[in-house]
Amino acid sequence: MDKLSYALGMSMASNLMNSGLRQLDVASFVEAFTEIMNNTTPSMSPQEANRVIQDYFSKQQDEMLSKNLEAGKAFLAENSKKENVISLPSGLQYEVLVEGSGAKPRATDKVRCHYHGTLLNGAVFDSSVQRGQPAEFGVNQVIKGWVEALQLMSVGSKWRLFIPSDLAYGQQGAGGSIEPNSTLIFEVELLGIV
């Protein structure tokens, strides 16, 4: 039972940390845990407990949304001052690394690309380059920033895209690595129209 209790404590603590909770009043946690395990009346109703939890995580989510949005805006504002960065009315920014000479795809076309996607802090969240396998997809089946950029690129081009959150995954984020309201950076090489 000692090992099981310890293992359950580890599991609960890991789950709480994975949900974004980094600090906890352990004495209050143990008090509530003990009351429930001893089948005594807790100091808080289940409804009140749920409201406190929801309010906390809602506030955390709002703070993260705001923090990521502001970081993205600040980055894009500074990035737009660079001589080789082109800013479009949509908010999309790009830098031409290699100018291709092939055809430009339409929204209805399917393309083959190599790409390398990072967050503002440089963390890689997806990369066909690292996998060593180009990706094929419909131009209109990707995030808005890609849809816009791909139709401006000629086959053979390689661009660095700076995509504001509203042209990326917005408030939903994506997977475990792209937080809500994240501005994304991609290096995209348009290999062909298929």
Whether 129 is covered by a domain: the verdict is yes
Check 126, 162, 178, 185 and give the catalytic one. 126
Of 33, 143, 166, 193, the catalytic one is: 143
pLDDT in tens, 16-56: 888 778 888 989 999 999 999 999 999 999 999 999 999 98
Tell me, yes or no, if 94 is annotated catalytic: no
**For residue 58, what pLDDT is reported?**
86
Q: Does the structure show a pLDDT above 90 at 57?
A: no
Active site residue 169: yes
Q: Which residue has the tokens 């955390």?
A: 60
Cα atoms in the Cβ-side hemisphere of radius 13 Å centred on 78: 7
To the query of whether residue 57 is one of the catalytic residues in this protein, the response is no
| pLDDT value of position 62 | 83
Q: Tell me whether residue 45 is in a domain.
A: no
Structure confidence at residue 2 as a pLDDT band (50, 70, 90): very high
Q: Give, as one character, the DSSP assignment of residue 106.
A: P
pLDDT > 90 in the chain, percent: 82
Domain assignment present for residue 49? The answer is: no
56: annotated active-site residue: no
- Residue 62's H or E segment, with its range, is helix 46-79
Predicted TM-score (pTM) of this structure: 0.76
pLDDT at 8: 92
Quote the DSSP letter at residue 94: E
Query: Any bridge partners for residue 98, and if so which?
Result: 158
Q: Which of 55, 153, 64, 172 is nearest to 186 (CA)?
A: 153
pLDDT band at residue 67 under the 50/70/90 scheme? very high
**Domains held by the chain: number:** 1
Report residue 151's pLDDT band, with 50, 70 and 90 as the boundaries. very high
Q: pLDDT by residue (tens digit) across 110-141?
A: 999 999 999 999 999 999 999 999 999 999 99
CATH number of the domain that 85 lies in? Answer: 3.10.50.40
Whether residue 13 lies inside any domain: the answer is: no
Active-site option among 33, 75, 109, 125: 125
Res 18: pLDDT: 80
Asked if the model's pLDDT at residue 90 lies above 80, the reply is: yes
Q: Give the separation between CA 69 and CA 74, rounded to whole angstroms.
A: 9
Is residue 56 assigned to a domain? no
The pair of structure tokens assigned to 188 is 């995209």
Range of the domain at 93: 73-193
In a domain, 40, yes or no: no
Is 115 one of the catalytic residues?
yes
185 included as an active-site residue: no
CA gap 188, 129 in Å, rounded? 10
Average pLDDT over residues 167-171: 95
Look at residue 106 and tell me whether its pLDDT is greater than 90: yes
Which pLDDT belongs to residue 17?
85
